[in-house]
């Protein structure tokens, strides 16, 4: 009888523990809810700049054009400094523009030998296989003094030797229509 009583007490004790562990709606207090609760935070990443092929090509071409102008301007200053008329004349694609530019050949006065000239293409106005027009800023103050900063429109054309050369400078022509000196 004692053993049967122990069995009944054990059953009552288990039942009491089970009932005590239940909430008011009948689910056990230790049972997790059916929907797990998770906390997540989202951090916005900074926008990544995108570069398209067209932009890269445009920037690369602008750099190429700037290098062409840089080369021509350095060669022009050296020809002027050395008094080399032949080297100066070789910089022009248009004979009429070369003739007009020769008028200033003996008038340029240098502060020191040309060494640093800064050329910046500000805007490419026209870019064709045989003609480039651009607004260009040139700073040659180290060689020519304080008055040697200029911003102008320059037109380059391919010369007979297939090299780029000066063809026009100033307002009024940017590779469109007949050349003003033709």
Spatial CA neighbour of 123 closest among 58, 47, 79: 58
**Residue 124 near residue 62 (C-beta atoms within 8 A):** yes
Residue 170 Rama label (left phi>0; alpha psi -120 to 50; beta): left
In this structure, whether the domain defined by 53-169 belongs to CATH 2.60.40 is answered with no
pLDDT for the residue numbered 14: 35
In order of 17, 47, 93, 130, 136, the CA distances from 150 in angstroms are 96, 39, 21, 25, 8
Structural domain boundaries of the chain?
53-169
pLDDT digits (tens, 9 = 90+) for 134-160: 999 999 998 998 778 899 999 999 988
Phi, psi angle pair for 149, to nearest 5°: -115, 125
How far is it, in rounded angstroms, from Cα 107 to Cα 25?
A: 104
More confident residue, 27 or 74: 74
More confident residue, 3 or 123: 123
């Amino acid at each position: 009888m004692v053993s049967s009583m122990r069995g009944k007490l054990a059953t009552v004790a288990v039942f009491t523990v089970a009932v005590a562990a239940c909430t008011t709606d009948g689910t056990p207090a230790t049972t997790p809810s059916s929907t797990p609760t998770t906390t997540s935070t989202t951090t916005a990443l900074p926008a990544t700049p995108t570069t398209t092929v067209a932009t890269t090509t445009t920037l690369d071409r602008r750099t190429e054009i700037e290098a062409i102008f840089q080369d021509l301007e350095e060669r022009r200053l050296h020809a002027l400094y050395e008094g080399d008329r032949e080297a100066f004349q070789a910089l022009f694609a248009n004979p009429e523009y070369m003739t007009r530019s020769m008028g200033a050949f003996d008038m340029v006065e240098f502060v020191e030998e040309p060494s640093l000239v800064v050329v910046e293409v500000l805007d490419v106005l026209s870019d064709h296989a045989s003609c480039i027009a651009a607004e260009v800023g040139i700073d040659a103050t180290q060689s020519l003094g304080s008055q040697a900063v200029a911003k102008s429109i320059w037109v380059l054309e391919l010369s007979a030797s297939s090299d780029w050369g000066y063809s026009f400078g100033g307002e009024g022509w940017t590779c469109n229509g007949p050349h003003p000196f033709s």
